[in-house]
Structure 1
């Protein structure tokens, strides 16, 4: 039976790894004050950042979709991996040797085995590039302007021509036939398995954590009946609609410069990086998709004062033109302005660098044009603008493009542009664009459907257990503030005060339940309070989610001293209200004693009320 990773190892990993560093490789993070960072949530689409990472708590939390957890949980969700695999991944990141309970060694998960096989394969191909057999591959790359240092930088390798070179090598490392098929490194035939990549130049494809997830390979020999470029099939770690070649090298510069250049091939990425365009990436044998947009949006900010840039480079042929128009159709989904850059004489970046040098590549990128302008031009270029009928048709085609512009100022600018190139009056163009806008709006309205609720659909657990807390209610807000302070700064709330307040202060059922767990865990020790409460609420995910929100909520202060002042104010206010509640209880008890004629009890309660009044006056004087 598989062994369990020791808890001490998991805690040691979390203490050694900064959660912001890990998440920052997937999401562009900006300081949010108090040592926290914020960015666009990778788990749901959003335009304004509601995703927060707090290294001091080793937690992340999205206030938009309520997803949160520790660094392991982030990797589980983002990389679609099991918990042990997330631990393995982080351990490998820092070279930490995991140990297992009862001395058992845990069987590697499928994903981990694929990654291990890919790593060994990339090294096998890299070493094979120096063999005599690989001379045609080296010559191809040299002829395209890539020297040995460039090949080393990108890990370019060679897949030998034989049928079983790689499979024999990996089977010697302990991999089974099925594991190699699952990894997409081998295919199955009548005589068993055989190498998928043979007699080709190979590029390893890495994810943002620098792990090899797949391969792309170019045909060299005429007798190779396969496609010019052969890419990995879908595997547990490789999903072509979400992978961008070169992102492992480009991610930091993309985040820093807020610019990304999207090219069409592996050698184009290499040429751009070597020429100084270090933000270049490419899709891997597939069209640019919405998943790719989401990947890039996580690295690009959403600052209107400093807008990010996405620059597409397409071939000028018909296929390239269609790809550009498809990119235009998705351009509004970027947190960025979109542009297109086309090389002189139709040269792609690789050919351009080879023929005219690095500077020509840089100039091509800087000569970018707005993608919208390119789309308008392409929509009208098919018509004869020297004829009246051609001008009318071109105007109508251009109006359809302009109707999709949401920004009224930008639309006005392009109405003027369309008027200039078609010689049609601008007022007429504006009227035509408005008609297209109405058509689009009416079409959307007519396509709306009212969903039919499921019969016997159960109510969510929250309605049965703990009602949602309306934070517009002042009482609920004050309760939430206290829970935030008690969770994030437990050292400022002594046990006596905490016990006194928590006993009667909370009224919202959800707050009462969470306060009970905080109280129980605080009684043990305040160290790692957040982790222990999260674990305690594991079987109540709804409450756990609310607690994560409490733990991650930014306290309204800029530094440690400010947070301490704020916390003491919240605690003091809660204590005052607690004393008022205690007085109310005593007054009710005194009334009952009066009604029953119990003079002794009435007198005792009166003394206690006097004590509470004095305490309340003292607290208020200290806060004055």
Structure 2
């Protein structure tokens, strides 16, 4: 268990914009930050972070909360794991009691898989550094590759003994369950035996963006031709290779800072370049590049430079990845190394300046690269040249931005010595064909569901009471502790005409006291259970704490309620996503008229409740046992009260 003192220290120190900035590229937007949602596929930002309120809101999915909630949502941390992650990030010492074996067994499956993976990572490092075989075989290999001790420790490289059950037996001895050893793929379980998946291999742990161990890559060192040179962990509940980039945990901050990401093929390419000083580098770890991997990079930068070795056949096989990058609306450049060189060897054999200069001078726009690569095969063959041009136009068709498309068509026309009009015509044909195909697929999908004809859906009505109760919670969170001058309207007889008129009476009070007393006057009860819980919790906090802040309230709130509170607080921020001020539209700040907002909300709620009451009385008149005289008197009284409240509301709104 983590002590409350440690938790409070973490919340006090952690900055939500810094924490989220490690995972999402954030750009300043007024007093807030905005970026692309890490929870959905989008091209325009709908993700907002408020440094003032220390909360975030994703308008594309409805998720929201504080720094801890973000880590729980994005990295699937448990609450204690999120606290520990933040403590590590901000160098805060955590006070806690050690987990017992019983507590380990009670951990849920997903957390257990992480625990096993973390244990395996520590075990493989210990074998590498602390055993004779590890030093003689594993450490020697890494040294031969030119890796320094600092690099080996940073990337947490390890070694698996060339024995069938060494790791599994040690893990079982330390209380780890065979179910989870099998679940991570570290142990292969047969009916009559079990054995290690990784045997006699140097180990490359694969980290999530937050540094958690998800799986491993293992390289064989022997000459066994039957065994795969590289072996990766199998897919599991925590490891999905198509959604992970090797090295992203170490590279993410530099990628955002440099606004560019170098994409290479293998583990050693990443490590060698990082060691040389090129730290904004990641790898797809030998798998074909996927859209999910590209979107991970897009959160941090819009620019990718793909690095290929001198193998032309390998380059052609990788061109598909460039089209995927273009589809995501990203800018892509390509750099190839001299024959016989790859990012690993080139970084090892050249200085940092030489590597940087080479990358700068030899990085080509994707059209120049594709044209030069394909042109060699087709320069003396008109038919092949035509196919090459069509291939390039196919890539341009993947780009979502129309302006970029036109610029690239112009560049292609110059490079391939062909008229722009022909290329634009070809582009239009390709686009038309793709649209027709998309429409055809859409209709087929719809047809599959169109089995039963259903009546058109009725548009659901707005729940007025829900919205007004929500507004009261918002008022209390934002302004509850503010002292304001409230103008109450009281019925008095006009001395001249004798008519009853509304006269203003001004008094000073805290916002939460005004709200509480007005609602008590009507004995109003919240109909939404969550709002009811929040209301009494906020009022209790405001009563006891003169320094009440929404940030502290959220931090101490049950994490299940945090998204609701965040949603309430951040609703107005979504208008900042559209840059209204640039179009000379400036939304009015609610804080400019808090007393008016409070009075308007309370009066609106009271009018609504009266309408509900009158409707209930009308229902009573349908009963044969109803006391019609009494019911009508009640209706008359409530209608009179509604008229009075409506007059007050009219004056509040119009003031």
Structure 2 residue 447 is matched with structure 1 residue 447: no
Conservation of the 8 A alpha-carbon contact between 1:339 and 1:369: yes
Report the counterpart of residue 599 of structure 1 in structure 2: none
Report the counterpart of residue 498 of structure 1 in structure 2: 515
Conservation of the 8 A alpha-carbon contact between 1:260 and 1:311: yes
TM-score, normalised by the number of residues in structure 2: 0.72
Change (3 A) 1:20 1:422: closer
Report the counterpart of residue 622 of structure 2 in structure 1: none
CA shift for structure 1 position 89: 6.0
Report the counterpart of residue 523 of structure 1 in structure 2: 539
CA shift for structure 1 position 114: 2.8
| Mapping 1:190-589, distance limit 5 Å | 192-223=193-224, 225-300=226-301, 308-317=302-311, 320-334=314-328, 336-366=330-360, 367-383=362-378, 385-449=379-443, 450=446, 452=449, 463=460, 467=462, 484-492=474-482, 493-499=510-516, 519-526=535-542, 527=548, 548-553=566-571, 566-572=590-596, 574-575=598-599
CA shift for structure 1 position 140: 3.2
Deviates more, 1:515-524 or 1:155-164: 515-524
Change (3 A) 1:433 1:25: closer
Q: How big is each residue's C-alpha offset from its partner over 1:383-411, in whole Å with a ceiling of 9 and x where there is no partner?
A: 2x334444444444444334444444444
Q: How big is each residue's C-alpha offset from its partner over 1:13-41, in whole Å with a ceiling of 9 and x where there is no partner?
A: 6456444443333222344454x443221
Change (3 A) 1:273 1:461: farther
CA shift for structure 1 position 533: 13
| Mapping 1:79-158, distance limit 5 Å | 79-80=75-76, 96-97=94-95, 105=103, 107-130=106-129, 131-133=131-133, 134-158=135-159
Change (3 A) 1:391 1:221: closer
User: What is the distance in 2 between the residues matched to 1:339 and 1:241?
Assistant: 22
Report the counterpart of residue 303 of structure 1 in structure 2: none
Question: Counterpart of 1:345 in 2: which secondary structure?
Answer: coil
User: What is the distance in 2 between the residues matched to 1:566 and 1:337?
Assistant: 41
Report the counterpart of residue 75 of structure 1 in structure 2: 71
Report the counterpart of residue 24 of structure 1 in structure 2: 21
CA shift for structure 1 position 376: 4.1
User: What is the distance in 1 between the residues matched to 2:176 and 2:608?
Assistant: 73
User: What is the distance in 1 between the residues matched to 2:402 and 2:159?
Assistant: 53
Change (3 A) 1:512 1:178: closer
Question: Counterpart of 1:218 in 2: which secondary structure?
Answer: strand
Change (3 A) 1:436 1:491: same
Question: Counterpart of 2:242 in 1: which secondary structure?
Answer: coil
Conservation of the 8 A alpha-carbon contact between 2:470 and 2:531: no
Question: Counterpart of 2:305 in 1: which secondary structure?
Answer: strand
CA shift for structure 1 position 265: 0.8
User: What is the distance in 1 between the residues matched to 2:42 and 2:368?
Assistant: 26
Question: Counterpart of 1:330 in 2: which secondary structure?
Answer: helix
Report the counterpart of residue 628 of structure 2 in structure 1: none
Report the counterpart of residue 589 of structure 1 in structure 2: none
Segments of 5+ residues of structure 2 without an aligned counterpart are 483-509, 543-547, 577-586, 611-636
Question: Counterpart of 2:282 in 1: which secondary structure?
Answer: strand
Change (3 A) 1:92 1:545: closer
User: What is the distance in 1 between the residues matched to 2:592 and 2:393?
Assistant: 61
Question: Counterpart of 1:312 in 2: which secondary structure?
Answer: strand
Conservation of the 8 A alpha-carbon contact between 1:182 and 1:235: yes
User: What is the distance in 1 between the residues matched to 2:474 and 2:558?
Assistant: 17
User: What is the distance in 2 between the residues matched to 1:422 and 1:38?
Assistant: 41
User: What is the distance in 2 between the residues matched to 1:416 and 1:620?
Assistant: 58
Conservation of the 8 A alpha-carbon contact between 1:328 and 1:372: no
Change (3 A) 1:458 1:7: farther
Deviates more, 1:107-116 or 1:408-417: 408-417
CA shift for structure 1 position 267: 0.9
Conservation of the 8 A alpha-carbon contact between 1:91 and 1:97: no
Deviates more, 1:489-498 or 1:80-89: 80-89
Question: Counterpart of 1:236 in 2: which secondary structure?
Answer: coil
Question: Counterpart of 2:355 in 1: which secondary structure?
Answer: helix
| Mapping 1:580-599, distance limit 5 Å | none
Q: How big is each residue's C-alpha offset from its partner over 1:130-180, in whole Å with a ceiling of 9 and x where there is no partner?
A: 444243433433333223333223222222212232223323322233332
User: What is the distance in 1 between the residues matched to 2:463 and 2:556?
Assistant: 19
Question: Counterpart of 2:333 in 1: which secondary structure?
Answer: strand
Q: CA RMSD in A?
A: 5.0
User: What is the distance in 1 between the residues matched to 2:5 and 2:459?
Assistant: 34
Conservation of the 8 A alpha-carbon contact between 2:310 and 2:338: no
Change (3 A) 1:284 1:201: same
CA shift for structure 1 position 516: 6.1
Q: How big is each residue's C-alpha offset from its partner over 1:408-446, in whole Å with a ceiling of 9 and x where there is no partner?
A: 444444434433444434433333333333333333334
Change (3 A) 1:260 1:573: same
Report the counterpart of residue 41 of structure 1 in structure 2: 37
User: What is the distance in 1 between the residues matched to 2:250 and 2:387?
Assistant: 46
User: What is the distance in 1 between the residues matched to 2:564 and 2:451?
Assistant: 27
CA shift for structure 1 position 260: 0.9
Q: How big is each residue's C-alpha offset from its partner over 1:319-362, in whole Å with a ceiling of 9 and x where there is no partner?
A: 53244322122123446311111112251111112334444432
Conservation of the 8 A alpha-carbon contact between 1:274 and 1:358: no
TM-score, normalised by the number of residues in structure 1: 0.75
User: What is the distance in 1 between the residues matched to 2:526 and 2:10?
Assistant: 32
Question: Counterpart of 1:241 in 2: which secondary structure?
Answer: helix
Count of aligned residue pairs for this structure pair: 573
CA shift for structure 1 position 279: 0.5
